[in-house]
Structure 1
Amino acid sequence: MLGVSPMAAMEPVRKLLIKFFSMERLGRALTDSLSQRWARPPGCRAMCVSPSPACVGARLRVSMRTNMQPLRAWPGGSASNHYHHCCTRTFSLSAQGRLCWSCQAAMTMDELFCPACHSLQPPDETKDYFQVLDCEKTFDVNIQELQKKYRNLQRFLHPDYFSQKSHVEREMSEKQSSLVNKAYNTLLSPLSRGIYLLSLRGITLEEGTDSVVDPQFLFEILEISEQLNDCNISSEIEDIGNFVQEKYDSLTGEVRNAFQQGDLHGAKLLLAKMKYFSNIQNQVKKKILP
């Protein structure tokens, strides 16, 4: 039995997109691209409203939102079923769509690779570092999960994998990989992660933090620094390093509690103290490994 043609099935969503975006060109581009993918997925020689397993396999695409694993194939069925799944899962009628730079196919902002021509896309500059690595926007980040997502992304984005690609894709790979590296290094450290979280809320931790910490704390830091400068014995330097690390870890726990309670001012004061201990940690490393 003949099914509904893809173009006919897409007519209602075409009208809705045109109305939603108030841009006929973008509305037609989105629906035409989707209709073509229904009609002739890669490797399919015939019109397929209800695709075979081979055609369904051709629809698999890489998505960052699923840790770089292929999305589940859309289930077989009528044209209306495909219409429902495509609209709700692929495009979701969101203003966050874009066109592929290479083939002009419609795609979402979350997609790193074009689902039609598989070209790597430029970074989305509107995303924060948590979104880049697909992590929950919280201070209490799961480090193992963060490392896993970082490695998965770099398996697809590292410039080494694009050495035989076009100049454009090589440049995009460098930008994508650099952004992922920067996001990962920022979120990996409790100090930089906390400072970044504050920046997302419009709070800046200035370079000179003397004005936000109490004089007694500054006096304690001065004493530790003087002790470290006078030390030349490895065991004593390591003792100071362990003491400073304990202080740093204790402050990390306090910062976590402050963010959980929504106390951004308290988090700022604690992070300012963490910066001092972080600086001493660097001094300890230099003395141990000159």
Structure 2
Amino acid sequence: MNYFELFNLEVNFNVDLSALASTYQKLQQLTHPDKFATASDRDRLLSVQKNAQVNDGYQTLKSPLFRAEYMLNLRGIDLQHEQTTLQDNVFLMQQMEWREQLEDIEHDAQPEQKLAELDDEIKGIIADELKTLKEQLLVGSEQANQGAAIIIRKLKFMYKLRQEIERKDEQLNDF
């Protein structure tokens, strides 16, 4: 099952999100298990499976990170189950620096401001990395695909870090 085909989209990093959402709604209506409540066991099971595929496809294609990872998967590069660690020492040092900043923020005189600044910095880097990722996926060569895989690994870390920043913000605002 190719999610791009399911949603009648060209395999491309750029996706029309409104067209995706519209097609999602139509596919949801067609495959929703409630429509098959009086159908045979086999047809009910098929509708549950198809509906799950529609939901999985939508979640994958609406996220730039998941979409890029899926595109690489279609090209034979599976990042979801890999155990590869980044060999980029500069980025590893940057990770450590961001983690230290996050740990030290609650001791700062203006923790909310420092947290917002850290989040803005990471958002900016994510935006730049997404542009480069788009270019790498467009090229599509083996070397470009490997470059895209490295960017995805970095982006996964940065998205997780942004979630940690959000949790820290919630903690600071609970006091």
- What TM bracket, shorter-length normalisation? 0.7 to 0.9
Which structure has the bigger radius of gyration?
1
Are 2:54 and 1:180 aligned?
A: yes
Which residue does the alignment assign to 1:250? 128
**What amino acid does structure 1 have at the position aligned with 2:100?**
E
Q: Distance in 2 between matches of 1:225 and 1:282?
A: 12
SS of equivalent residue, structure 2 residue 61: helix
The counterpart of 1:234, out of the listed 85, 109, 112, is 112
Question: Under a length normalisation based on structure 1, what TM-score does the superposition of the two structures give?
Answer: 0.52
> Is structure 2 residue 152 aligned with structure 1 residue 266?
no
- Alignment partners' CA distance in 1, 2:169 and 2:31: 36
Q: Deviations over 1:147-171 (max 9, x none)?
A: 1111111011112333333332221
SS in 1 for 2:8: coil
Q: Which runs of 4+ in 1 moved over 6 A?
A: none
* Cα drift, residue 204 of structure 1: 2.9
**TM superposition shift of 1:251:** 0.6
Please give the TM-score of this superposition, normalised by the length of structure 2. Answer: 0.83
Would the aligned equivalents of 2:24 and 2:58 in 1 still touch at CA under 8 Å?
yes
AA aligned to 1:209 is T
Task: State the aligned residue count.
Answer: 162
Deviation string, structure 1 residues 37-63 (Cα, Å, up to 9, x no partner): xxxxxxxxxxxxxxxxxxxxxxxxxxx
- Return the match for 2:7 from 130, 133, 149: 133
Per mean C-alpha deviation after superposition, the further-off stretch among 159-168 and 224-233 is 159-168
Report the Cα offset of residue 275 of structure 1.
Answer: 1.5
Query: Are 2:18 and 1:144 equivalent residues in the alignment?
Result: yes
CA RMSD of superposed structures (Å): 1.8
- 1-structure distance, mates of 2:170, 2:31: 34
Distance, in Å, in 2 between the alignment partners of 1:210 and 1:267 is: 13
Following the alignment from structure 2 to structure 1, what is the Cα–Cα distance between the partners of residues 135 and 36? 43
Amino acid of the residue matched to residue 273 of structure 1? K
1:198 partner letter: L
Could you tell me which residue of structure 2 aligns to residue 278 of structure 1? 159
Deviation, 1:287, is: 2.0
Using CA pairs under 8 Å that are at least 6 residues apart, name the structure with larger relative contact order, 1 or 2.
Answer: 2
Any residues of structure 2 matched to 1:62-77 within 5 Å, and which? none
Larger deviation, residues 260-269 vs 172-181: 260-269
2:104 matches 1:210: no
Structure number with higher helix proportion: 2
Partners of 2:25 and 2:115 in 1: how far apart? 35
